[in-house]
Amino acid sequence: ACRGAFSPRQCGRLLSQASSALGHAHSKGVAHRDIKPSNIMMDRRGAVKMMDFGLALHVGPTGYEVGRVAGTPAYELVTGSLPFPSNEGLRESKEREAYPALPASVPVKLRDLVVSCLKADPTARPRDMKEFGTRLEEAFTGGSKKQPG
């Protein structure tokens, strides 16, 4: 597994494949519940594999709310660090609606997507992994169907 920050393009490629895999799991009623960079692996060809479904739950046909599940791993992939160094930092962020700054090199639409996933208000986050994937694609392609990278 790689450690540290990925370039925005690498992050886009990884997150695109991961969101597709998670969207598929959600469509089958499975919620991973432990998404973090160490559970997103790449094979030698660069194909993303989701690992460690040990905390997974069957959530039924309605799917699973994205919540902070996508924001924290995306932030960590781009910056190489967690957005909230402790539970206290997370609680304070929820109370003040303060979000960790992302590097200026991160494209604005990607930055907006990551920040929206970190919001305390669930209605401000992507509804599901399909919406997350669509917004991720738009961050790199302006909405065309090309994959990031």
User: From CA 105, how far away is CA 97, in angstroms rounded?
Assistant: 23
> For residue 54, what are its two tokens?
């040990």
Q: Cβ(25)–Cβ(32) under 8 Å?
A: yes
> For residue 115, what are its two tokens?
């920040």
Q: What does the pLDDT profile of the chain (149 residues) look like in tens digits?
A: 445 677 888 888 888 888 888 888 878 777 776 777 788 888 888 888 888 876 766 776 555 555 545 677 888 888 888 777 665 545 555 555 566 688 888 888 888 888 888 887 888 888 888 888 888 888 888 654 444 44
User: From CA 64, how far away is CA 26, in angstroms rounded?
Assistant: 6
The pTM of the whole model exceeds 0.75: no
| pLDDT of amino acid 119 | 82
| pLDDT of amino acid 57 | 67
Question: What share of the chain has pLDDT > 70, as a percent?
Answer: 70
For the chain, the 3-state helix, strand and coil shares in percent, each to the nearest 5, are 50, 5, 45
Which 8-state DSSP code applies to residue 37? G
End-to-end CA distance of the chain: 20
Residue positions annotated with a catalytic role: 34
User: From CA 64, how far away is CA 33, in angstroms rounded?
Assistant: 10
| pLDDT of amino acid 72 | 76
